[in-house]
Amino acid sequence: MNGALTRILAMALKELAVVLRDRRVLTTLVASPVIQLVLFGLATTLEVKNVSLGLVNRDNGVASERFLAVVAGSQVVGKIIVYPSERALAEAIEQRAVLGGLILPSDLSARVARGDEGKIGFLLDGRRINAAQIVQAYLAEVAATAGQSLGIGPVEPRLVIRNWYNPNLDYSWFTLPGMIAVITTVLVLSVSVQAIAREREFGTYDQLLALPIQHWEIVLGKIAPSFLVGLGNGAFYVAMVALVSDVPFHGSFAPIVLAIAAFSLAVSAIGLAISAVAASQQQAFLGGFLVIVPMILLSGYASPIDGMPEWLQPIAALDPLTHLLVVCHGTFLKGMSSALILGHIWPMLLVALTFLALAVMLLRRRSN
Amino acid sequence: MSLRDLLLSRPAMAIRAKEWAQIWLDPSTFGLVILMPLILMFLFGSAVTLDVRATRTGVIDLDRSSASRDLVGAISHNAYFRVVEQDSVAAAEPALRSGALRGFIVIPDGFERHLVTGSAPQVQLVTDGSQVNTATLLAANLRGALRSWAEARSLEQGAREAGAIGLIPRYTYNPGLESRYMLVPGAIGIVMAMIGSLLTALIMAREYERGTMEGLLATPISIPVLVFSKLLPYYVLGLASTAICVAVAVWGYGLPFRGSYLGLFLISSAFLAAVLGQGLLISAATKNQFVSTQFALLSGFLPSLLLSGFLFEIDSMPVAIQWLTYIVPARYLIPPLQSVFLVGDVWSMFLPNIAALLVFGGFFFLRVTRAIKRQIA
């Protein structure tokens, strides 16, 4: 066993030297993730604010005045552009100059004053359905409140909302901890997929086979650089986001680093399995890409898992990234307990073991 | 240099033949060109959805009156919620922390008493703020549910007319409110960005890494012809991928295709020119496959996904980032692409976008030829 350990260590050191030797690679490993974290962490917001709307106003009464005052003062709506006709409005929507347009009929205030329901038309761009629906829900609320302030309408329960863990629903509190997980995935997978494919491309893999070293020892040694890159970078981002950004850090450092370690191991194992079948670096990179994209999209980062079809949700639960995301959000915002975090670590370890075994099996089969 | 030189001269044809042979011999290229569109179309068509349905919501009814039971019933029957009744806030709290619940509703004691006396009773909603989007939609949906419950109740009790000002929304191009209609055309853009920048990011770096680049440069081929001939096969592959995507979008997911194939072809060609040029420049500048793919990811794939306005509204981003989106080619692709499916040929919008993309393409092409020339000198 001691011999095996020495061999794995030697293999790991050699692998690390290969990755760390190239200055450009090193710069890429450090600079690119930091840029991604900052840039995309700030940009990715599903929050909708500052949208341009069109307006065709045929009513000059108190109802439209009350309604428009609230609309103009809100954060959701930015510019309001007045159009002479519904046709001009429809054209502006087609050109994407505005997200939608409000059409206030000439009898709006008169109807409201009589006690009838006033109807405001709202034409929206169906191409931008997400933003359109959010703006529509918001304006429906504004319309109802404006109506109530004019003293009509049924008694309605008053909704008092409290958002735990993120009182102001600051979107960067969601994206920044999430970005840690996403970037670590990309980094670990890109490093691990080339481990064996690179040797094949340069023809040095045969030499490796000539050494007195077992397949599983190769795999464990090969996993070292990507595992360490993932662990080091992941821990660094956690510290960076906790210290530099205004996202609170309610949990403790040790459990989240443990989770990042388990995650790096799992993703390295997946990368190594790809590398074991790839004949060249190109194949390895492209194979890695075929895995990264579904991993990110199924993880719940881009869209909630709750909204996915029922049969797809168990598959999303196999994605190590899903678990790391829960741990990241849980640790930063919710102060998640270590016991709960452990519940997310073992599925990642299970993925790691499965793919490590697969990688060993694939290597053994290819060399026979 | 004439078009004849670029397309039909012997060196041009030789390089193209060599590139095709390399593509042909490596199944991974086809994997990317055929599998990637299928995987992405499936994910964006079936998995990614921004609609929030059946949100796991706890309900704590502290009033236990007929009015509060009626409200709980109304919320339970609403498709937006999957209601789990809880006894107390203390019981709901751990569920919210572990993520088993996305929020819980508290109907306080005295709810019915308030309602009867005509003063507005309170309903509390506690959301899991760590899931910002779900929390926002949960609140909006509950507000809607409370309003329709109150309206139905006042009509039952003989009130004359519901809500004083109503908003009547009409969604052009997408009356069924399918988020798929927005996501699938966007996914096509992602596929093109990926094929374009990732494949080409590898091709030059590979030649440098394997030491075959010097051999190529030693041949009497002119640099522009070399660059152009290396790109052409990948342009064809990019178009093939786009065609697969469009077929899946229209036949698989039932998207309308209201524009013309000519419009689609011109937009895709202009976009491919830009991203292929970008990938090739990265490739020629880095000369290392690993660094090159990392750059392609950083400057090609991720900005196309995150900064193109396809998932995340550009208007809502910080101003500095909004400016940055102007140098992301996908920003000029997504609006015409969504329109060619849902609206039709809007040439007044297509042409400026196509022009912008061609400027990108021309710029990258010039930079690549320069980057390679410098090395010989």
Token pair recorded at residue B145: 């549910």
Asked if A160's CB is within 8 angstroms of B316's CB, the reply is no
Token pair recorded at residue A302: 């881009």
Asked if B140's CB is within 8 angstroms of A170's CB, the reply is no
Give the ipTM of the model, two decimals please.
Answer: 0.84
Residue B278 contacts residue B199 (beta carbons within 8 Å): no
Residue recorded with tokens 């994605």: A319
DSSP character string of B227-267:
HHHHHHHHHHHHHHHHHHHHHIIIIIS-----S-HHHHHHH
Per DSSP, A157 falls in state P
Mean pLDDT of the region A183-209: 85
Q: Where are the alpha helices (DSSP H) in B99-131?
A: 111-117
Listed as ranges, residues in chain B with pLDDT below 70 are: 1, 158-163, 374-377
* B-chain residue closest to A115, CA distance: B164
The four Cα atoms B344, B267, A301, B279 give a dihedral, to 10 degrees, of: 180
Interface test with B, best of A52, A163, A182 (most B CBs within 10 A): A163
Backbone angles phi, psi at A125, to 5 degrees: -80, 110
Label the pairing between strands B55-61 and B103-107.
parallel
Per DSSP, B183 falls in state H
- Cα(B239)–Cα(B267) distance, integer angstroms: 11
Which residues are CB-neighbours of B91 under 8 A, at least 6 positions away? none
Give the gap in angstroms from C-alpha B44 to the nearest C-alpha of chain A.
8
In this complex, which of B169, B290, B291 lies closest to A136 when CB atoms are compared?
Answer: B169
In this complex, which of B177, B307, B324 lies closest to A129 when CB atoms are compared?
Answer: B177
- Cα(B210)–Cα(B203) distance, integer angstroms: 11
Interface test with B, best of A159, A187, A326 (most B CBs within 10 A): A159
What is the pLDDT, as a whole number, of residue B297?
A: 82
Residue A122 contacts residue B167 (beta carbons within 8 Å): yes
* Residue among B352, B171, B331, B178 at smallest CA distance from B249: B178
Question: B118 exposed, middle or buried (CB, 10 Å; 0-12, 13-18, 19+)?
Answer: exposed
Backbone angles phi, psi at B104, to 5 degrees: -140, 150
Cross-sheet strand order for the sheet of B55-61: A158-164, B122-128, B103-107, B55-61, B81-85
**pLDDT band for position A152 (50/70/90)?**
low
What is the pLDDT, as a whole number, of residue A320?
A: 96
Mean pLDDT of the region A152-171: 82
Label the pairing between strands B103-107 and A51-57.
unpaired
Cross-sheet strand order for the sheet of B165-172: A77-82, A51-57, A100-104, A118-125, B165-172
* Residue among B26, B315, B50 at smallest CA distance from B186: B50
Per residue in B38-75, pLDDT tens?
988 888 888 887 777 788 999 999 999 999 999 999 99
Report the first-to-last Cα separation within chain A, whole angstroms: 25
Label the pairing between strands B103-107 and B81-85.
unpaired
What is the pLDDT, as a whole number, of residue A128?
A: 86
* A-chain residue closest to B353, CA distance: A95
Interface test with B, best of A52, A130, A141, A179 (most B CBs within 10 A): A130
- Cα(B207)–Cα(B215) distance, integer angstroms: 9
- Cα(B52)–Cα(A154) distance, integer angstroms: 28
- Cα(B123)–Cα(A39) distance, integer angstroms: 39
Q: Say if residue A148's pLDDT is above 60.
A: yes
In this complex, which of A24, A129, A306 lies closest to B181 when CB atoms are compared?
Answer: A129
Query: Measuring CA to CA, how many Å separate A14 from each of A83, A363, B300?
Result: 69, 19, 32
Q: What's the predicted TM-score (pTM) here?
A: 0.86
Helix (H, G, I), strand (E, B) or coil at B50: coil
Which position has the higher pLDDT, A1 or B208?
B208
Residue A127 contacts residue A95 (beta carbons within 8 Å): no
**pLDDT band for position A146 (50/70/90)?**
confident
Q: Which residues of A touch B43 (CB under 8 A)?
A: 293-294, 297-298
Give the gap in angstroms from C-alpha B93 to the nearest C-alpha of chain A.
10
Asked if A278's CB is within 8 angstroms of B146's CB, the reply is no
* B-chain residue closest to A41, CA distance: B306
Mean pLDDT of the region A1-27: 79
Backbone angles phi, psi at B171, to 5 degrees: -100, 115
Backbone angles phi, psi at A169, to 5 degrees: 50, 45
What is the pLDDT, as a whole number, of residue B288?
A: 83
Asked if A336's CB is within 8 angstroms of B130's CB, the reply is no
Give the gap in angstroms from C-alpha B31 to the nearest C-alpha of chain A.
8
What is the pLDDT, as a whole number, of residue B375?
A: 61
Asked if A157's CB is within 8 angstroms of B115's CB, the reply is yes
Q: Exposure string (b/e) for B42-78, b if CB count within 10 Å is 16 or more?
A: bbbbebbbbbbeebbbbbbbbbebebbeebbebbeeb
Mean pLDDT of the region A234-259: 92
Q: Say if residue A156's pLDDT is above 90.
A: no
What is the pLDDT, as a whole number, of residue B50?
A: 72
Backbone angles phi, psi at A122, to 5 degrees: -140, 110
